[in-house]
Amino acid sequence: MFKKFSTEEVSAQNQVKASVQRKIRQSIADEYPGLEQVLEDLIPKKSPLIVAKCQNHLNLVVVNNVPLFFNIRDGPYMPTLRLLHQYPDIMKKLQVDRGAIRFVLSGANIMCPGLTSPGGSLDDEVGAETPVAIMAEGKQHALAIGFTKMSAKEIRDINKGIGVDNMHYLNDGLWKSGYIVALATSLSFAAY
Amino acid sequence: MAGKPQPVRVLYCAVCSLPAEYCEFGPDFEKCKPWLIQNAPDLYPDLVKEANAKETDKVANQLQSTGISSGGGDGAASSAPKEEVKRLPGGKIKKKEKQEVTIEKVTRNKRKSITTVKGLELFGVKLSDASKKLGKKFATGASVVKGPTEKDQIDVQGDIAYDIVEFITDTWPDVPEAAIFFIEDGRKVPAA
């Protein structure tokens, strides 16, 4: 989805009303209970929250110039990979085998066999149509964020075709657009 | 800070911006290697070994060359040729654009036609000048139009396909006749 994405695709960005901001915070908190304690750090109540509207009904939640979440139409909010790397346990995880990494990193959707093979693993609680983190065999960090097409059980049973839609993956357009910001923050980390 | 999950600090490669463990799947693993050896030696033990082997060779070489020149020139020379290969995001090597002029006749309204000329700019011809010249020569309207895939092309009103070859080679001697092609029924036919 973000294969080609740049700041030019943002058609409008505006600071949202406090009420909308509260709504966004609430839905994020509902969806990611693990984030509740850090939500205040991520999205401070005081600082302005910007929602950038992009093509294909895509919304980005931006705080301090850092894209943190995105959603499509009125769908669930999904964290960007950089955020997920910081708080890896907020999402349910699915793991793909090593052979699949290459394809996922070029934007392919995640096929069932890659999840059911010995290198992959499935969280049985995952239902259909939920955002999940895609991990990889032998790697520590997530490589993509997906949106399941079927539940974990179905993936096991059917074991064919697309199991998870690839929404956002390492080195796609959204990742790159956050790159400059990330550089700056890592520099400030270094200053500590 | 009690109970608050601390953000995980992820090591990102300074070259390709991916987390260091994904460099091997990144757009350009070769370029990342030196950075990885310095910053994440434990992730790729093989690399370090490889590098050590090379390093001993290098030291031996440098010992010989220091007598002639200082070490500074060495690095610059080796980095320069690498830059020439342009990389697309997928890690594919960008093909150098072929220098050719293609001429296509597009019919409109049955007996009226437009001749489009693509690729003149590859020979260092200014398109706005060229369109003016073409219009003058054939006494028709000629304009620079944004073609598909973001390229400029010249549209000339009327069917001038046959005279145009001679005109192009006469006005711009840089353009060889062999580099001019017609498109007929979707096939490329050399004009010469």
Instruction: For residues B192 and B189, give the distance between their C-alpha atoms in angstroms, rounded to a whole number.
Output: 9
Query: Hey, are the CB atoms on B25 and A102 less than 8 Å from each other?
Result: yes
pLDDT value, residue A147: 92
> Are both A116 and A134 inside the same structural domain?
yes
- Is A1 a domain residue? no
pLDDT value, residue A190: 46
Residue A148 burial (C-beta neighbours within 10 Å; 0-12, 13-18, 19+):
buried
Query: Hey, are the CB atoms on A171 and B3 less than 8 Å from each other?
Result: no
CA distances from B27 to A134, A172, A186, B87 (A): 20, 11, 22, 8
- Candidates A3, A41, A85: best to mutate against B (most CBs of B within 10 A) is A85
Query: Hey, are the CB atoms on A186 and B22 less than 8 Å from each other?
Result: no
Residue from A120, A105, A87, A119 nearest A169 by CA: A105
Structure tokens at A38: 């850090």
> Are both A114 and A145 inside the same structural domain?
yes
- Find the domain containing A142 and state its range: 91-169
> Are both A118 and A76 inside the same structural domain?
no
A87 touches chain B (CB under 8 A): yes
Structure tokens at A8: 């030019």
User: pLDDT (tens digit, 9 = 90+) per residue, B26-76?
Assistant: 777 888 888 888 888 778 777 777 777 776 776 666 666 655 544 444 444
B38 φ/ψ angles, rounded to the nearest 5 degrees: -70, -45
Note which residues in 64-123 of chain B have CB less than 8 A from chain A.
Answer: 89-90
B152 touches chain A (CB under 8 A): no
> Are both A144 and A179 inside the same structural domain?
no
Note which residues in 1-60 of chain B have CB less than 8 A from chain A.
Answer: 3-5, 7-10, 12, 16-19, 21-22, 25-27
Structure tokens at A96: 């793909």
Domain with CATH 3.30.780.10 in chain B: 99-188
A40 touches chain B (CB under 8 A): no
Q: Which helix (H) or strand (E) holds A184?
A: helix A179-191
Query: Hey, are the CB atoms on A170 and B3 less than 8 Å from each other?
Result: no
pLDDT confidence tier of residue A166, bands split at 50, 70 and 90: very high
- Is A42 a domain residue? yes
- Is A65 a domain residue? yes
Q: In sequence order, what are the residues at sequence separation of 6 or more whose Cβ sits closer than 8 angstroms to the Cβ of residue A147?
A: A75, A78, A129, A130, A131, A132, A164, A165, A167
B9 Cα to chain A: minimum distance (Å): 6
> Are both A99 and A156 inside the same structural domain?
yes
B181 Cα to chain A: minimum distance (Å): 32
- Is A139 a domain residue? yes
Instruction: For residues B7 and A90, give the distance between their C-alpha atoms in angstroms, rounded to a whole number.
Output: 11
User: pLDDT (tens digit, 9 = 90+) per residue, A49-107?
Assistant: 888 888 888 888 888 888 889 988 888 999 999 889 888 888 899 999 998 998 999 88
A133, pLDDT greater than 90: yes
Average pLDDT in the B181-188 region?
76
pLDDT value, residue A145: 93
What is the overall mean pLDDT for chain B? Answer: 73
- Is residue B120 within 8 Å of residue B154, measured between CB atoms? yes
- Candidates B8, B28, B42: best to mutate against A (most CBs of A within 10 A) is B8
Measured between beta carbons, which residues in chain B are less than 8 angstroms from residue A171? 16-18, 26-27, 89
Instruction: For residues A132 and A167, give the distance between their C-alpha atoms in angstroms, rounded to a whole number.
Output: 10
Instruction: For residues A13 and A22, give the distance between their C-alpha atoms in angstroms, rounded to a whole number.
Output: 18
Query: Hey, are the CB atoms on A140 and B21 less than 8 Å from each other?
Result: yes
Instruction: For residues A192 and B61, give the distance between their C-alpha atoms in angstroms, rounded to a whole number.
Output: 40
pLDDT value, residue B3: 52
Overall number of domains in chain A: 2
- Which CATH number goes with the domain that contains A24? 3.10.400.20
Instruction: For residues A61 and B162, give the distance between their C-alpha atoms in angstroms, rounded to a whole number.
Output: 57
Residue from A166, A167, A7, A148 nearest A72 by CA: A167
> Are both A149 and A183 inside the same structural domain?
no
Q: What angle, rounded to 10 degrees, do the helices at B127-138 and B161-171 form? A: 130
- Is A135 a domain residue? yes
- Is A60 a domain residue? yes
In chain B, the residue whose alpha carbon lies closest to the alpha carbon of A98 is B25
What is the overall mean pLDDT for chain A? Answer: 84
Instruction: For residues B165 and B177, give the distance between their C-alpha atoms in angstroms, rounded to a whole number.
Output: 7
CATH superfamily membership of B99-188? SUI1-like domain (3.30.780.10)
Instruction: For residues A150 and A136, give the distance between their C-alpha atoms in angstroms, rounded to a whole number.
Output: 19
Q: In sequence order, what are the residues at sequence separation of 6 or more whose Cβ sits closer than 8 angstroms to the Cβ of residue B192?
A: B177, B178, B180
pLDDT confidence tier of residue B78, bands split at 50, 70 and 90: very low
Residue A187: what residue type?
A: L
pTM attached to this predicted model:
0.61
A53 Cα to chain B: minimum distance (Å): 24
Structure tokens at A79: 């964290």
- Is A51 a domain residue? yes
Residue from A47, A46, A49, A41 nearest A24 by CA: A49
- Is A79 a domain residue? yes
A184 touches chain B (CB under 8 A): no
User: pLDDT (tens digit, 9 = 90+) per residue, A21-40?
Assistant: 888 888 998 888 888 888 88
More confident residue, B2 or A75: A75
pLDDT confidence tier of residue B161, bands split at 50, 70 and 90: confident
